[in-house]
Structure 1
């Protein structure tokens, strides 16, 4: 009987995860296409093919759904493991050469920012006229600021940082931001590769305090 209960529980957990993924995918599509205010829990439920009560049971509110959607978009999946504790980040930390470490980190950041920029843009625009969502977005930013300390530690390597840890974390908070990526790739028309190359140089010179090899 214990084996049967374990199997049933695992199946229910898998079904619940799949339902969450469907809701998150529907919310992403609708928020980006129609905006936050125009997207209701009802339309999200309809898009996901679930009951409205299922959405509320899984996320509680539209604001919380937005928060969890941003988190899932940053990581690229519904695994709650922070980015700084994943294999890609460990590969950055394990790289002994600072130039290559900056390149790996920039590539990882570019991948994340391209995923998150569209939904972050929607959330920030909506938060400007929605105080409750604005408060939710501040919790997201606070979590990002906390994670930047871990990012700075991962980048430091054997030679250390070129800045004090708190300043290094603040610098990464700016460099990694979707807003900066938007300004360069949308406003200036930079390609993702050009943005990544620039980001790697900023990390190398501004955070690690190392001279870029392409500088004369």
Structure 2
């Protein structure tokens, strides 16, 4: 009986994760193509192949759905993962060579940027006329700022940082910004590969010892 209950619970958990993933995928597609404001919970439910009530039961409301979508997109996983627990981040921290550490970190930052930038563009447009969404995005921004503490420590290596901890965190906050990537790739026409190489150089010149 214990084995049967355990199997049933695992099956339910897997189904719940699959449902959540379907809703997140549907929301991402619709937010990017249609816009946050124009996308309804009904449309998300229909795209995901679930009932409207299921979307509300899993996420509560559209803003929370968006917040969790941003978090899972940054993590590259169904559930948010702390930066230090990501295999790519652990590889950066474990790399003894400063140049290679910068290259690995730039590649990680680029992969996150490519995933999340389209969603953040849509969110920024909607937040301009939605105070509650703007407040939520401010909280997301503050959480990203807090992550720079971990990022700086991860890049420091055995030799430490090129500058103070506070300046390193501020510098990374700017360098990692999706807005910077948007300006270089969108306005200047840089390829993602060129952006990654630029970011690697900037990390070496301004943060990594």
Q: What TM-score results when the alignment is normalised by the length of structure 2? A: 0.98
Quote how far apart the aligned CAs of 1:163 are: 1.7
Aligned residues: 209
Quote how far apart the aligned CAs of 1:164 are: 1.4
Once structures 1 and 2 are overlaid, which stretch shifts more, 82-91 or 126-135? 82-91
Runs ≥4 residues deviating over 2 A: none
1:68-107 deviation line (CA, Å, top 9, x unaligned): 0011111111133223321111110111111110011001
Distance 2:57 2:165 in 1: 41
Equivalent residue number for residue 49 of structure 2: 49
Equivalent residue number for residue 36 of structure 2: 36
1:16 aligns to 2:19 (yes or no): no
Quote how far apart the aligned CAs of 1:161 are: 0.5
Equivalent residue number for residue 83 of structure 1: 83
Quote how far apart the aligned CAs of 1:14 are: 0.4
1:120-170 deviation line (CA, Å, top 9, x unaligned): 111111101100101111111111111111011000001100121122112
- On the 8 A contact 2:35/2:122 being kept in 1, the answer is yes
Matches within 5 A, 1:174-185: 174-185=174-185
Equivalent residue number for residue 105 of structure 2: 105
Q: What TM-score results when the alignment is normalised by the length of structure 1? A: 0.94
Structure 2, gaps ≥5 residues long: none
Over the aligned positions, Cα root-mean-square deviation in angstroms equals: 0.9
Structure 1, gaps ≥5 residues long: 210-216
